[in-house]
Amino acid sequence: LEGNSEVPGWLTALLTEKFFNACIIHEEVKRNEKNVFCLDCCDGICPHCLLRHRSHRLLQIRRYVYHNVIKLVDAERLMDCAQVQTYTSNFAKVVFLNKRHHTRLGKAASGKYCINCDRNVQDSNLFCCISCKLQTIIRTGKKVSNYLRKCDFLALSEPGLEDGQMTPDSVLEPAGSMRTESGSSGGGGAAGYSECRALATTATTEAVRKKRSSSKTGHRSACRPVSGIYNSETTLNRRKGTPQRSPLL
């Protein structure tokens, strides 16, 4: 992508930036990971840099299955994301910025794959990430500008900046499915959430019960038998006999 005059500088920087590394400016400060991208400066910044970029266009970067993703609603304000595979986590649809390395085991006749890197995608999609779509546009001789959108304002979606970590989930999002907050599929809504909380409470109670049981068993085994205690007390309280003195010479 670098050196291509049709690709804007902010897009090249977004796809090549190393996010979630320590910020050089705030190297000695905690929570200094670069999880925000400034489109006006074409650079990744950390939460401590936000004050200097408060009037710039800012894009929140998140981690999903150890790779960089952005929310679909944010990505669509910058470019056309049609036919790019989406994933769901914490009720938010996300797209990968770059392709992920994988072992190619051969294509199945009934499978659908990314036309750029052969990764599995859903039937309605052609690309696994934004980078693969951009590379395909350039390779086929189409104009990149036709797929970009003008965005004069882009702010962080959350008032409190989160750390960007998302629930790991490598399963493709089924069509028409709903996912719970943890990222797993489920059609029960609130009922499914209540069931999960009940299972978690039961498991916790059982674990505490086992811990207490093992703790009591350990204390009993460490103590002496009751009979031994009584025998020792009887021995200690037994009156001594008359001492035997040696005869006088």
Q: Can you list the alpha helix ranges (DSSP code H) found in the chain?
A: 9-16, 72-75, 130-139, 190-222, 226-237
75-104 mean pLDDT: 90
36 three-state secondary structure: strand
Tokens of 51: 């004050």
| High-pLDDT (> 90) share of the chain, % | 49
* 238 found inside a domain: no
The answer to whether residue 39 sits within a structural domain is: yes
More confident site: 39 or 162: 39
**Cα–Cα distance between 116 and 134 in angstroms, integer?**
10
Residue 167 within a domain: no
Average confidence score pLDDT of the chain: 75
pLDDT digits (tens, 9 = 90+) for 172-217: 444 444 333 333 333 344 444 344 444 444 444 555 455 555 555 4
Residue 62 within a domain: yes
Has residue 119 been placed in a domain? yes
Dig out the tokens for 222 from the structure: 């460490």
Per the structure, the complete domain to which residue 59 belongs is given by 9-101+110-147
Strand 58-60's sheet: what is its strand order?
A: 43-45, 36-38, 58-60
Find, among 74, 66, 71, 70, the residue nearest to 169 by Cα.
66
Asked whether residue 13 is domain-assigned, the answer is yes
Query: Is residue 231 situated within a structural domain?
Result: no
* Number of domains observed in the structure of the chain: 1
Q: d(Cα 149, Cα 146) in Å, to the nearest integer? A: 8
pLDDT digits (tens, 9 = 90+) for 109-154: 557 899 999 999 998 899 999 999 999 999 999 999 999 999 999 9
Average pLDDT over residues 83-91: 89
Q: What distance in Å separates the CA atoms of residue 235 and residue 114, rounded to the nearest whole number?
A: 86
Is residue 118 included in any domain, yes or no? yes
